[in-house]
Chains A and B, each alone.
Chain A
Amino acid sequence: MKTDELMLKVENVSKIYKLGEIGGTTLRDELQRLWAKLRKKEDPTKKIGAKNYNKGEKFKALDNISFEVKKGERIGIIGHNGAGKSTLLKLISRVTGPTEGQIHLNGRVASMLEVGTGFHPELTGRENVYMNGAILGMTKKEIDAKMEDIIEFSEVRQFIDTPVKRYSSGMYVKLAFSVAAHLDSEIMIMDEVLAVGDIQFQQKCINKMKSVSEQEDKTILYVSHNMNTIRELCDKVIVLDHGKLIFMGDVEQGISIYSLKDHILRDQIELNQQRNNVYSLSDIFRFKKIKLFPNSKQSSNMKDSLCFIMDYSSSEQLSDVFFRIVVYFANGPTVGMTCTNKSTIIRKTDNGHLKFNVDLSCLASGVYTLKIYAYGLNSQNVTGYFDVIDENIVFVEIGKEEINDVTWNHARWGHVKFNELHVNEED
C-alpha cells in the first residue's frame, strides 16, 4: 500500500566542516593563534606533524545531496567509513544543521543513532523507558499505552525494575530498541543499532521493522555495513561516496556499486600488476596506472567524455596495438564497446603515457564500470591480447541534464540515451 506521498525531501544539502579548528579550543589558543598570525609565524597550537591546512580550508562531509523518500519506503544507506552516512542521518534527525540546502520532513523522526541514548544508569528499566520515550518525543500517555508491548518485546521483563547500570549491554540494546520500535513516529532512523544484540534479537528487530513499515507505512532509513540486513530490510539503497550521492535505487545494484567503491575513478588508480587473466600473450606490455585527465572535473562527473591518462611500460616497440573499452552498468550487464579503428604504435619505455578520450554522450546517468583491453591482430586476424585490466574501473556519469526532470529509469529504458527525438507536424 505504497502512496506517492513524500515523507522526506533533501534538497542540495551540504555540510562543511572547517579543517583543523573544529572545537575543543580555548580562548587562549585562539588568541595565541591570532597573535601568531599577526606576526606571520606558524600556528603554535597546531599539533606537531599535523598537515598544514590553509586557513579556511574546508572539508565537505556532504556535497550537494538531493533525494526524495516516499511514504513506507525502507531505504538503506551504504558507503564506506567517512562517506557521510552518519552526517546525513544527523542532519535529518536535526542534531546538527546543514551548511547549505534544505531538508523537508513530513512527520516525526525517531532516531536510534546509538543504543540507549539518554538512559540514566541509576534509573530502573521502566523509568528509562519513560525517559527514552519522552526524549524521542512521546508523551507519558503514549508510553503508558505501549508499556506492555515494549516490555514484552524487549525480553527483559524480569529486570524491568532494576537500575539499568546492572544490565548487560545486550539487555540495554534490547530495551532501547524496543522503545524506539514502538514509537509513533512516521520516520525511523537507525544507525548500526543492531550490531550489539545477538543474532536472534537482530532477526527479531528486522522482522519488527519490516512489519511496522508494511503495516503502519513507516518510512525507514537504515545505515549498516552489514549487507545481509540491508538486503533483508530495505527496498532501496542510497550509496554515498566521499560526501556525494552516487547511486539511489535497486538494492542489489547499489550493493555491487558499494563493493566496487575502491575503484571509483577519482584521481588515479594504481593498477594491480598481478594479472591472473588468461588472455595475456606476454609480459611485454603492461598498463600501470590510470589517472583522470587533470582538465576533467576531479569528481569524475564528466559531462560528455571521459578523459584519462594511462601510464604503461613496454619492453619492446609494438607497432600494431589496438585498444578496446567495454562499458558495463554497475558491474552488471554490458552496455557497449568502443575501440580504436587505427593501430597505435607503442614505444619501448618504462613509463609511457597514453591519453584516452572516450565519448560517452549517449550514456544515461548512472554508475558504470569499464574494462580496458590492449590487443593486436595477427595475420589471420585473430585477436591476441597484450594486456587487459580486469579490475573494474568504476565511473559515475552524473550531472547530465535530466530529460524533463525525470530520473533515468534504468530498468525500463536501458542505459543508452539516444540523441534527441525530433517530432514535427507534417504538412
Chain B
Amino acid sequence: MEKQKFKTTITSKHKLFDLHLKETFKYRDLIWLFVKRDFTALYKQTILGPLWAVIQPVLTTFVFSFIFGSLAGLKTADIPEAITFNFHVPSFLFYMTGTMLFTYFSTNVNKVSKIFIENRGTMGKVYYPRLVQPISASLSNLIPFIINFVLFVIVWAVFLITGTTSMQVTWWLLFIPLVVLELIVLSIGLGMIISAVTTKYRDLQMLVGFGLQLWQYAAPVAYGLTLISLSPTWGDRLMLYTCINPLTPIVTTFRYAMFGFGYFNWIPYVVSWGVSIFLFFIGLMLFSKTEKNFMDTI
C-alpha cells in the first residue's frame, strides 16, 4: 500500500517552540472577533460605555495628584536638574503617564494570565491556535489605552499651545511606539508565564492581583524618579533601582519622550528590553508547552 501524505499530525512529542504561527495567522479573523467581543461585551448595558475606560485612570490620576502632589508635596520630576532649573510639568500630565502605562500593564498581565482558566470551556471543546488568545487580549486592552492616550495628548497639546509649561516637542516623540511595544511584550510575556503555571497551581493567581498592586509602588508611577535620586539612602543606587524593574525605564522614557526632558539612560533601557524579551520567550515556551495538555490538569 502506498504511503499517503497527511496535512496534520498530532503526536505526543513536543518541540520547544511549537507556536503554530502560520495557523495563528490564518485565524486572524478570530483575533479581531475576540477583540470586538471583549469590547462590546465589556460595555454592554452600561450608560457611559467606553467612557469608563477614561474615568478610571483619570480619577486615579486626580487622587495621585492630590495625595502625592498636593498633600505629600512630591516633586513631579525625574531628574534633580528639573527642580533646580524649575522645569514645570503639569502634575496631571505627569501622573497620567504613569497611571496610563501601568493600567495597561496590570490589566494585560491579569487578562493574559487568566487565559487558560477563563477560556477552558471553549478550549476544552474546540481547537484553535491558543496563541490567538493572548494576542487578542493584548489588543483589546490596547483600546482603553489608546482612548486614554488620546485624552492625554489633547490635554498635553492644550498646555503646549497655551505655553504655561516648560514641556518641549522633540524628536524623542518617535520613541513612543517603541516604548509602548516594550510594554506590550513585557506584559504578554509575564502573563503567559503566569497563565502556564496557574493551570496547575492556582496560588499564583492570588499573587497576581496583590503583586501587581505592590509593583505600582516599585515603579515611578505615583512619584518622580527624583524621589529616589534625592533620597539619602537610595540616591547612590539609582542605577540598581532603574535596572531591576523593567517597568521603570518604560515609564521614565515615556515621560522623557513626551515632555522633552527627564531621565533617560541607555543602560537601564537596554536592560529592560532584554528582560522583556527574555520573559516573552520564556512565556512563549511555557505557553506552547502548556497548551497541549492543560485540559488534563486545569
Contact = CB atoms under 8 A, between A and B. Distances in A.
Interface string B135-152: 000000000000000000
Contacts of A122: 40-41, 44-45
B162 interface: no
Nearest to A68: B4
Interface stretch (B86-94, B173-181, B199-207, B259-267): B199-207
Interface in B143-201: 199-201
A103 B37 contact: no
Contacts of B292: 96-97
Contact of B9 (A26, A99, A102, A114): A102
Contacts of B235: none
Contact of A109 (B40, B41, B127): B127
Interface string A90-109: 11111111111111111101
A98 B10 contact: yes
A65 to B, nearest CB: 13
Contact of A94 (B41, B127, B201, B202): B127
Contacts of B29: 134, 138-140
A95 B124 CA distance: 6
Interface residues of B, number: 42
Nearest to B204: A27
B37 A26 contact: no
Contacts of B41: 120, 122-123
A105 B122 contact: no
B74 interface: no
A339 interface: no
Contacts of B1: 405
A345 to B, nearest CB: 55
A218 to B, nearest CB: 15
Contact of B37 (A25, A107, A120): A120
Contacts of B7: 105-107
Contact of B40 (A25, A123, A134, A405): A123
A134 B27 contact: yes
A95 B295 contact: yes
Interface residues of A, number: 50
A101 B12 contact: yes
Given A96-B293, A122-B44, A135 B126 contact: yes
B125 A111 contact: yes
Contact of A114 (B10, B44, B125): B125
A140 to B, nearest CB: 5
B49 to A, nearest CB: 13
Interface in A73-103: 90-103
Given A97-B292, A102-B11, A111-B125, A137 B27 contact: yes
Contacts of B128: 135-137
Contacts of B127: 93-95, 109, 111
A53 B40 CA distance: 48
A105 B27 contact: no
Contact of B125 (A26, A117, A134): A117
A147 interface: no
A385 interface: no
A379 B200 CA distance: 75
Interface in B74-127: 121-127
B199 to A, nearest CB: 8
B297 interface: yes
A228 B297 CA distance: 36
Interface string B4-32: 10111111101000000000001101101
Interface in A145-165: 163
A217 to B, nearest CB: 16
Contacts of B199: 23
A309 interface: no
Nearest 3 CB-CB pairs, A to B?
A94-B127, A104-B6, A134-B30
19 contacts: A6-B4, A25-B201, A91-B10, A95-B123, A98-B12, A102-B9, A102-B11, A104-B9, A105-B6, A106-B4, A106-B6, A113-B125, A118-B125, A120-B37, A122-B41, A135-B126, A137-B26, A140-B29, A405-B1
